[in-house]
Amino acid sequence: MAIPSVHPAVSGGHVDWARIRADFPLLQREVHGKPLVYLDSANTGQKPAAVIDAVDDFYRHHNANVSRAVHALGSEATEAYEASRRKLAKFLNVRPDELVLCSGTTFAINLVAYSWALPRLKAGDAIVVSRMEHHANIVPWQLVAQRTGATIKVAEIHDNGELDLDALYAQLTPEVKLLAVTHVSNVLGTVNPVREICCEARKRGITTVVDGSQAAPHRPLDVASIGCDFYALTGHKMAGPTGTGALWARKETLDAMPPFIGGGEMIKEVRFDGTVFNDAPHKFEAGTPNIAGFIGLGAAVDYLSSIGMANIEAREQTLLAHATEELSKIDGLRIFGSAREKAAVISFQIAGAHSHDLATLLDLEGVAVRSGQHCAHPLLQFFGVAATCRASFAFYNTHQEVDALVAAIHKSRRLLG
């Protein structure tokens, strides 16, 4: 069951992408009698057999709770769970004891909001949030602002979907205590220069939270070198199971934060006259975690590493270039976001066609795209649109699938009149 360190489809500088694609059982199915063209990986990624097998193997052969039992299964489960933490830490180039395992980015950011921000912020403080954030990196800050009296300031974007960096840096005035910014936009694909942004924030003593949900699955990451204070990610977009994710922060930052959720696993000793909490990261991991999910995430990290994140990024850039070129040829099609550094996500609209209607017709052709507001209402408000369609690509997609999307758009358009 061990995943090889180099995938057999990778040799020298060459990757046999057709062979990689064959690792994903679901991609072989049909939808409405047509081959599935799955272009919704920004929403959730498909899983390779190695991940599905790892989860299956855990339940068949090792299932037990972690950190509690001394019996063989208990230690196997604990070892496998902690091995996943180490794998993910290596993948991100951080220390395992600085990685809090949690259900995903939403939980990770709420942990920062409730455990770091809530006890520290007060009336007169400000939180800067970028216009292109997912709701998971907006709403927790609004909740903190409501309870502390802090205010929210919005870091605006240019029409091409890049952050207005000059305006952002000008906004980083002394009352700003926290800056929340995404590494990669889930709607526009914009890759933000998070290292530079965090450096500017740090100079001013501002704590930074980076949402890495759309970065971790698609590019080599060196979280330690970004210079942020918190980095959040979600496992289900990076070939892992749903309900897995992580929050990275320096050990001293985690040590200085109170627990967020109380219960078992997060304590050293419980007495009615006072409880001694476990050390970080465990003090943030109350209750039974998604053990099988994290074992799957460990396998996902091994799997992605066996292909190589640089290969994955390069592959997805060729798909993005091809899709951008072909979609741009379609009359009346508008693409939202043309950042100079962009991940393989294309949000678009067709003049006269409602995005949900278009997505429904594309689905009948087997093409799965997301339509709607992509959990980013303020961003769509900036562009003055109610919804877009979004095609998001992963390394397992093919150039033929890009062509299938284009053909399906032409056909749907005829039907929409």
Q: Which residues are tagged catalytic?
A: 375
Burial 176-200 (b: 16+ CB within 10 A, else e): bbbbbbbbbbbbbbbbbebeebbeb
DSSP codes of every residue in 311-349 = HHHHHHHHHHHHHHHHHHTSTTEEEE---SSB-SEEEEE
Q: Which of 136, 291, 301, 346 binds ligand PMP (CB under 6 A)?
A: 136
Residue from 211, 302, 316, 401 binding ligand PMP (CB under 6 A): 211
Residues 107-126, one symbol each (x = binds ligand PMP by CB under 6 A, - = not), give --------------------
Minimum CB distance to ligand PMP smaller for 17 or for 336: 336
Residue whose structure tokens are 């602002």: 145
Say if CB 163 and CB 155 are below 8 A apart. yes
Interface stretch with ligand PMP, choices 138-146, 207-215, 296-304, 345-353 (CB under 6 A): 207-215
Of 44, 74, 71, which Cα lies nearest the Cα of 288? 74
The residue among 44 and 288 lying less far from ligand PMP, judged by its C-beta, is: 44
Interface with ligand PMP by CB under 6 A: which range of 101-109, 110-118, 275-283, 303-311?
101-109
Q: How many residues bind ligand PMP (CB under 6 A)?
A: 14
Contact flag: residue 342 with ligand PMP (CB under 6 A):
no
Q: Which residues contact 44 (CB under 8 A, 6 or more apart)?
A: 236, 237, 242
Question: Binders of ligand PMP among 212-231, rule CB under 6 A?
Answer: 213-214
**Positive or negative: CA dihedral 248, 254, 257, 258:** positive
Burial class (CB in 10 A: 0-12, 13-18, 19+), 174: exposed
Looking at beta carbons only, is 67 or 213 nearer to ligand PMP? 213
Tokens of 370: 């997301």
Q: Are the beta carbons of 104 and 243 closer than 8 angstroms?
A: yes
Strand partners, 154: 129
Q: Is 182 in the site for ligand PMP (CB under 6 A)?
A: yes
Please state the closest distance from residue 188 (CB atom) to ligand PMP, in A.
11
Answer for which of 104, 259, 296, 337 binds ligand PMP (CB under 6 A) is 104
* Contact between 234 and ligand PMP per CB under 6 A: yes
Give the CA distances from residue 384 to residues 24, 336, 357, 363, in Å, rounded to whole numbers and listed in that order.
Answer: 38, 11, 19, 26
Rounded to 5 degrees, φ, ψ at 93 are 60, 50
**Is position 134 an interface residue for ligand PMP (rule: CB under 6 A)?**
yes
- Does residue 240 touch ligand PMP according to CB under 6 A? no
Could you say whether residue 371 binds ligand PMP (CB under 6 A)? Answer: no
211 by DSSP, 3-state: which?
Answer: strand
For ligand PMP, the binding residue among 67, 106, 311, 355 (CB under 6 A) is 106
Nearer to ligand PMP, 78 or 106 (CB): 106
Q: How far apart are CA 297 and CA 289, in angstroms?
A: 13
User: Closest separation between CB of residue 123 and ligand PMP, Å?
Assistant: 28
Q: Are 65 and 257 in contact (CB under 8 A)?
A: no
Nearer to ligand PMP, 181 or 249 (CB): 181
Instruction: Confirm or reject binding of residue 84 to ligand PMP (CB under 6 A).
Output: no
Among 139, 143, 330, 375, binds ligand PMP (CB under 6 A): 375
Instruction: Determine if 186 is a binding residue for ligand PMP (CB under 6 A).
Output: yes
Choose one: 92-100, 131-139, 275-283, 290-298; the region binding ligand PMP (CB under 6 A): 131-139
Contact window for ligand PMP (CB under 6 A) among 134-142, 195-203, 222-230, 248-256: 134-142
Give, as ranges, the residues between 272 and 301 that touch ligand PMP (CB under 6 A).
Answer: none
- 186 or 290: whose CB is closer to ligand PMP? 186
How much helix, strand and coil, in percent to the nearest 5, is found in the chain? 45, 20, 35
Tokens coding 172: 């980083």
Q: Which stretch binds ligand PMP (CB under 6 A): 82-90, 100-108, 164-172, 247-255?
A: 100-108
Q: Give the DSSP letter string of 138-191.
A: THHHHHHHHHH--EEEEEPB-TTS-B-HHHHHHH--TTEEEEEEESB-TTT-BB
Distances (CA, A) of 351 to 172, 181, 348, 378: 39, 31, 10, 21
For the CB of residue 241, give the shortest distance to ligand PMP in the complex, in Å. 11
Q: Which residues bind ligand PMP (CB under 6 A)?
A: 104-106, 134, 136-137, 182, 186, 211, 213-214, 234, 236, 375
